[in-house]
Amino acid sequence: MKVVLNQDVKGVGKKLQIVEVSEGYARNFLLPKKLAVVADNKNLNMAQGKIDSQKFKKKTELEAANENKKIIENGFIEFRHKVGEGSKLYGSVTEKDIADKIKEKFNIEVNKKKITISDPIKSLGSYTVNVKLYEGVIAKLKISVVGM
């Protein structure tokens, strides 16, 4: 019996996938628990529509991420901090600080967990950090830290 899965089923398939299962398994387990629906024309068309919708959404998100990457890589951010002896900062520049500045300067919302700093920024100078905007899209942001 062919069915369209409503969600991932271990050992059977992924969500919206059309699979062939035994009639008993479908009637006694998948259908009563609403894990799948019978693969008739209506349900096949609905599943295909959802798949097309997901592909379109991913495509638009990827395009937006690439546009944001261009904006971020063409700009830079400057931080002004109080400095102690040996050009050491009081405190440090954190991922949250960087995310806030990106929002303020470029008007791009970035989660602080998506920003990776190779070494903690605790002194004056220029740095480059990676900003993950989407799966496979990573922007390199230039940061300048100057004293007050």
pLDDT in tens, 70-86: 999 999 999 998 888 87
The predicted structure's pLDDT at residue 133: 93
E runs forming strands in 8-136: 18-20, 36-38, 76-81, 88-93, 115-116, 121-123, 125-134
Residue 103 has pLDDT above 90, yes or no: yes
pTM of the model: 0.74
The CATH superfamily holding the domain 2-61 is Ribosomal protein L9, N-terminal domain (3.40.5.10)
- Sequence ranges of the domains in the chain: 2-61, 63-147
CATH of domain 63-147: 3.10.430.100
Phi, psi of 75 (to 5 degrees): -110, -175
The predicted structure's pLDDT at residue 61: 94
Q: Which long-range contacts does 52-59 make (Cβ < 8 Å, 24+ apart)?
A: none
Rounded to the nearest integer, the mean pLDDT of the chain is: 93
Q: Bridge partners of 91?
A: none
Q: What tens digit of pLDDT does each residue of 130-147 get?
A: 999 999 999 999 999 998
